[in-house]
Chains A and B, each alone.
Chain A
Amino acid sequence: DVKVTQSSRYLVKRTGEKVFLECVQDMDHENMFWYRQDPGLGLRLIYFSYDVKMKEKGDIPEGYSVSREKKERFSLILESASTNQTSMYLCASTENRESRPQHFGDGTRLSIL
């Protein structure tokens, strides 16, 4: 079974802090994704990556950056956290084949005070 592990289930940070959310997958997947989930808005794509050191902006990249130094790890960075970034963050990975589903981590519920 594919395992996608997010480093924290719950996280509380303060406004202005630099925040790192970590995601690791164990199936050698090429593609990895970061979403945020807010009530009534579904899942919105922040960034995704198709290879080491490669990244693409999703639909809402503002205020975020990402890092992929190793194939199995994809980090989401909030450069200067703000209260409107309080949300549930979900990481996913998939093989680079058209029919494969994305596999998701358990999510990180991030609160910015």
Chain B
Amino acid sequence: AQKVTQAQTEISVVEKEDVTLDCVYETRDTTYYLFWYKQPPSGELVFLIRRNSFDEQNEISGRYSWNFQKSTSSFNFTITASQVVDSAVYFCALRPDRGSTLGRLYFGRGTQLTVWP
């Protein structure tokens, strides 16, 4: 079975605080891909990052960083020095690497992040 859990339903922080969004996944596939998407109030899901199961290097992109740990089946997302524009719903998703799933994603339920000025 494929499953993604985002235990944090809502998080509120004040601008300039650091915040980490948790993502835990379950899969029996040895090869898979993990994604993070951002959904601002306008509604469109925006792709942020992709990570494959063989690459456990952490990644940093500006104020965003991602920590992938296979040992704990986690793919956490940290925003450093948060800004009001970071307010959005963030989704973590899993894509097994098998032809039968045809590229479908398994989404977590999302974390609503609110950054207050």
Contacts and interface: CB of A to CB of B under 8 A. Distances in A.
Interface of A: 31, 33, 40-43, 45, 48, 50, 56, 58, 88, 90, 92, 94-96, 98-107, 109
A92 B45 CA distance: 9
Residue from A33, A101, A109 with most neighbouring chain B CB atoms (10 Å) = A101
B50 A101 contact: yes
Give the secondary structure class of B's interface.
loop
Contacts of B110: 42-43
B47 A101 contact: yes
Given A101-B35, A104-B44, A107-B44, A96 B109 contact: no
A104 B44 CA distance: 6
Contact of A99 (B9, B33, B102): B33
Given A45-B105, A106-B43, 8 more contacts: A41-B109, A42-B110, A50-B102, A90-B45, A104-B37, A104-B44, A104-B46, A105-B44
